[in-house]
Structure 1
Amino acid sequence: MTLFRLECKTHCKTLLIWMIVVGILTLGLVSLFPAMKDMGLDQMKAMPKDMMKAFNLSDLGMLTTIKGYFGYEYQYVMLATGIFAAMLGTNALSREESEGTISYLFSQPISRIAIVGEKMLCNTVLYTLYWLVSMAIAYLVCLMFKETGASVSDLFDGFTQLTFAGWVMGLTFLSVGFLLSAFLSSNKSATSLSLGLVFLTFILGVVGKMNNDFKGLLYASPVDAALPSTIFKSGIEWNYIVTDLVVIVVAGLLTFWIYRRKDLNV
């Protein structure tokens, strides 16, 4: 498990920075709720209905509750979370070739399968830690600023489901990132690929919500499988979660298969 420890040590600082930034962002967004819930919604009502639906604003009344407000605002933090997970994946394997450390790995008694396996395990642990801390901070902040009479148990149930759905969403981006990393020989394009992957799938989800003829595109949008507004309102939509789980398994297996046969720049 030497590689596992090295990988964790490499990402320790990055993980801490992301948790701090997301925690501060969450606090800043939710702290605006008391002021926002007393403001009129007339300007938002003037927005086209399809546009409101695409950005999960179909029920404006929900914005006067902490669950509804948090559900809308936090979807953008979910995008950042997807980018973080995708960056972990796209950097994982390509970084070794780009930085020349692949020679060191091959000098150790470790196989390519073990390299991929330990890196996957490490990055899964890192993402899981990031997500659990993010959810704990978000839940505590929502308790601090919730409206009078809001049910604590109801809020906890919603966060429990969101924690699971968001975890699956992140693992989806992580696994696809690993698959892309198996093809790359340099991590210079890892960030742009991560951004492109997350925003492309998000846009596909927006198109799917705006036009019923393209509703199937929602299955290509992991973010839509873990939208806080949807989960808080109607619970987890398991058809999307199952799709994400299939992608995770297939992308993971393909990563092992491709990396095992790849010509590495040693």
Structure 2
Amino acid sequence: MTLFRLECKTHAKSLLIWMIVVTLVTFGMMAMFPSMKESMSEFKNTMPQEMMEAFNISDMAALSTVGGYFGYVFQYIMIATGIFAAMLGTNSLAREEAEGTIEYLYAQPISRTSIIVSKMLSSFLLYTLYWIISVAVSLLICLIFKESGASISDLVTNFSLFAFAGWVMGLTFLSVGFLLSSMLSSNKSATSLSLGLVFLTYILGIVGKLQHDFRFLAYFSPIEAALPSKVFQDGIEGKYMLTDCLIILMACCLTFWIYRRKDLKV
């Protein structure tokens, strides 16, 4: 429990910064909704259909509603969320070797399994707290800027489904980040690895949507499964969630297997 509390305390400041930035960016983007919905027809004529599908704006009618507009703008927050979760994971285990604190941990009556469990639980708590607050604030902002006549109950229902799908998405990046961290001896490349992981999978989702022969690539894009525009329109697709859950399980098991056999720099 000592390591768990220490991890939570270490990341508390960065968690607060991330939540403040996400809140301000979301509010800023949603504040443009009243003026943007008037120019959607002009915007439609300036972009090719394929490009609109790649950026999830093929249904222009939906963009005139607060839910549809939120689904478009929040996809970029989803990318940032994936990076945040991946960085939590990739920094976690490797940081102890890079900073030399692994020697201190080894002097304590704690096993490698306990180290992994404590770090996973703390990262899980931090990410879940970040996500719950982000979704709650986003829902409140949407209620503030919603168009007249919009159904509040439908919006709340859609947000409930989106909250679950996005939470699973972040856990996927978090677990893969832990797997990468178990193989690293330094966290210097953690940021670049996190960025590369998130953007690579995001691009795979775009390719899967544009090329029917490569449709299967979308299953390797956690962001694609949790996009609010997709969840609001089609609900949660079980096949995507199943793929994410399998990746989470495999990544966690491999993390334990690799880290327990790893030669640590003490």
Q: Note whether the superposition's TM-score is higher than 0.5.
A: yes
Give the aligned partner of residue 153 of structure 1. Answer: 153
CA distance in 2, matches of 1:61, 1:255: 45
Give the aligned partner of residue 44 of structure 1. Answer: 44
Per-residue Cα deviation, 1:194-227 (whole angstroms, up to 9, x for no partner): 0000000000000000010000000000000100
Q: 2:212 matched to 1:189?
A: no
CA distance in 1, matches of 2:191, 2:5: 23
Deviation at residue 47 of structure 1 after TM alignment = 1.6
TM-score after normalising by structure 1: 0.99
Q: Which amino acid aligns with 2:140?
A: L
Q: What number of residue pairs does the alignment pair up?
A: 266
Deviation at residue 40 of structure 1 after TM alignment = 4.0
Deviation at residue 46 of structure 1 after TM alignment = 3.4
Greater mean alpha carbon deviation, residues 43-52 or residues 21-30? 43-52
Counterpart secondary structure, 2:258: helix
Q: Which amino acid aligns with 1:73?
A: V
Which 4+ stretches in 1 moved above 6 angstroms? none
Per-residue Cα deviation, 1:94-115 (whole angstroms, up to 9, x for no partner): 0000000000111111000010
Deviation at residue 237 of structure 1 after TM alignment = 1.0
Residues 165 and 241 in structure 2, CA contact (< 8 A), matched pair in contact too:
yes
TM-score after normalising by structure 2: 0.99
Give the aligned partner of residue 236 of structure 1. Answer: 236
CA distance in 1, matches of 2:171, 2:72: 22
Give the aligned partner of residue 254 of structure 1. Answer: 254
Give the aligned partner of residue 131 of structure 1. Answer: 131
Give the aligned partner of residue 99 of structure 1. Answer: 99
CA RMSD of aligned residues (A): 0.7
For structure 1, the 5+ residue unaligned runs are none
Residues 40 and 60 in structure 2, CA contact (< 8 A), matched pair in contact too:
no
Q: Which amino acid aligns with 1:264?
A: L
Residues 185 and 265 in structure 2, CA contact (< 8 A), matched pair in contact too:
yes
CA distance in 2, matches of 1:237, 1:51: 23
Per-residue Cα deviation, 1:73-105 (whole angstroms, up to 9, x for no partner): 000000000000000000000000000000011
Give the aligned partner of residue 245 of structure 2. Answer: 245
Counterpart secondary structure, 2:74: helix
Aligned-residue identity in percent: 64
CA distance in 1, matches of 2:12, 2:143: 29
Residues 219 and 240 in structure 2, CA contact (< 8 A), matched pair in contact too:
yes
Residues 40 and 64 in structure 2, CA contact (< 8 A), matched pair in contact too:
no
Residues 82 and 173 in structure 2, CA contact (< 8 A), matched pair in contact too:
yes
Deviation at residue 39 of structure 1 after TM alignment = 1.7
Residues 40 and 63 in structure 2, CA contact (< 8 A), matched pair in contact too:
no
CA distance in 2, matches of 1:146, 1:42: 22
Structure 1 residues 36, 211: closer, same or farther in 2, change over 3 A?
same
Q: 2:35 matched to 1:35?
A: yes
Give the aligned partner of residue 219 of structure 1. Answer: 219
CA distance in 1, matches of 2:17, 2:76: 18
Residues 78 and 223 in structure 2, CA contact (< 8 A), matched pair in contact too:
yes
Counterpart secondary structure, 1:60: coil
Give the aligned partner of residue 19 of structure 2. Answer: 19
Counterpart secondary structure, 1:38: helix
Counterpart secondary structure, 2:149: coil
For structure 2, the 5+ residue unaligned runs are none
Give the aligned partner of residue 5 of structure 1. Answer: 5
CA distance in 1, matches of 2:104, 2:194: 27
Deviation at residue 236 of structure 1 after TM alignment = 0.7
